[in-house]
Copies of this chain bind each other. A is one copy, B any other.
Amino acid sequence: MTTSHDVAKLAGVSQSTVSRALRGLPGISEKTRLQIQRAAEMLAYVPSDAGRSLSTKRTRVIGVVSAELTNPFFPELVEPMRAEFERLGYRMLLIPDSSENPLEIDRLADGTLDGVILTTVVLGSQLPHRLAARKIPFVLANREIDGIQADTVVLDNQLGGKIVASLLADLGHEKVAAILGPADTSVGRDRGTGFQQGLSERRIALLPERVRNEPFTYSAGHKATIELLAAAEPPTAIFCGNDVIAFGACNAVASLGLIPGHDITIIGFDNIEMSDWDLFRITTVNGDLKGMAENAARLLIRRIASPDGAPERITLEPELILRATHAPPLGMRLRA
């Protein structure tokens, strides 16, 4: 591996001059700068990241803590983050954090990371506090934690839940079910309370046996839907905590020979790309994942630049996306 010393020798200058010249710092004559650039090119010199990191104490690497990428939700959040970090001159290290394999703080604190984005954190997690204690810049994306001062980007999930409740009420549904996300995530909780609140404003009951808290996965959505529809009095509409659960619900409904948007109403949340596929066309709430990702990235970079200063909180607005999986309850239409 060729170093700046090699370049210096070839160009007949000192190592420090090479360092300054190649980074375009002032105080180097054009003539020597050209000489050095030529030498660097000849040797295919690339500055050592480790050396630079050690010297500058910055790595230009961001850690993004997320769950399995095979859950189609995460790529839609992670990909625009990667793009935004790329633009900002940072690289992205993916760090898994699952309940089976919980993340240890030391994996984040070895100085590899200039900052961290948390996307999967549960309500009681100690991770944010530990990061704060070690003064590692971080931001919460798509999650919030009670009682912590930290940069945060979230959707107004409660409002989103309310919007769905209104829609179902307007359509005339009375037997309503919900497959919310896990109760220990802010997303699962807030979408649930918003939904519940919205329903009760419209005097619609949400029976406990029609409410589930499940992981944000296809299979959980599938299974829960089968079970909900097996009840003596099955619901006419199911609100899903996110689109991935809704995919499971739609597939489960299809496997029973029913058609979403005709026999039963299925509402998703997040508006990930797949929800617009012809076979789904899921009525959902736009979660603006791209906006969330980009804001989170920018917030983190700003926080790295100025570690002190009041934490910022960005709340994005949900928006109802009407597609093909909502309709008035079947009984009502038959009566008409």
Binding site for B on A (CB under 8 A): 1, 44, 46-51, 53-54, 57, 59, 61, 68-70, 72, 74-76, 78-79, 82-83, 86, 91-96, 106, 109-112, 134, 218, 222, 247, 250-252, 254-255, 273-274, 277-280
Q: With the chains together, A50 CA to B254 CA distance in Å?
A: 53
| Residues from chain B with Cβ under 8 Å of A278 in the complex | 222, 251-252, 254-255
Among B49, B75, B79, contact of A112 (Cβ-Cβ < 8 Å): B49
Supply 14 further A-B pairs (C-beta < 8 A) apart from A61-B93, A83-B96. Answer: A44-B109, A46-B110, A46-B111, A49-B59, A50-B54, A69-B75, A69-B79, A70-B273, A75-B75, A82-B96, A86-B96, A94-B94, A218-B277, A251-B278
| Residues from chain B with Cβ under 8 Å of A75 in the complex | 68-70, 72, 74-75
> Nearest CB to that of A68 among chain B residues?
B79
20 residue pairs from A and B, CB less than 8 Å apart: A1-B57, A44-B134, A46-B109, A48-B110, A49-B112, A50-B112, A54-B54, A68-B75, A69-B78, A70-B75, A70-B76, A74-B75, A82-B94, A86-B96, A91-B93, A91-B95, A250-B279, A251-B279, A255-B278, A279-B280
Q: With the chains together, A178 CA to B251 CA distance in Å?
A: 27
Q: With the chains together, A179 CA to B74 CA distance in Å?
A: 28
Q: With the chains together, A230 CA to B12 CA distance in Å?
A: 69
Q: With the chains together, A75 CA to B72 CA distance in Å?
A: 8
Copies of this chain, tallied across the complex: 2
* Shortest beta-carbon distance from A222 to chain B in Å: 8
> Nearest CB to that of A272 among chain B residues?
B70
Q: With the chains together, A44 CA to B106 CA distance in Å?
A: 9
Q: With the chains together, A134 CA to B222 CA distance in Å?
A: 50
Q: With the chains together, A277 CA to B112 CA distance in Å?
A: 39
| Residues from chain B with Cβ under 8 Å of A54 in the complex | 48, 50-51, 54
| Residues from chain B with Cβ under 8 Å of A111 in the complex | 1, 46, 48-50
Contact A47 B110 (CB under 8 A): yes
> Nearest CB to that of A252 among chain B residues?
B278
Q: With the chains together, A179 CA to B23 CA distance in Å?
A: 48
Q: With the chains together, A57 CA to B48 CA distance in Å?
A: 10
Q: With the chains together, A262 CA to B82 CA distance in Å?
A: 42
| Residues from chain B with Cβ under 8 Å of A83 in the complex | 96
| Residues from chain B with Cβ under 8 Å of A91 in the complex | 93, 95, 112
* Shortest beta-carbon distance from A43 to chain B in Å: 12
Q: With the chains together, A218 CA to B278 CA distance in Å?
A: 11
Among B47, B57, B76, B94, contact of A92 (Cβ-Cβ < 8 Å): B94
Among B51, B79, B110, B277, contact of A247 (Cβ-Cβ < 8 Å): B277
| Residues from chain B with Cβ under 8 Å of A92 in the complex | 93-94
* Shortest beta-carbon distance from A72 to chain B in Å: 6
Contact B49 A110 (CB under 8 A): yes
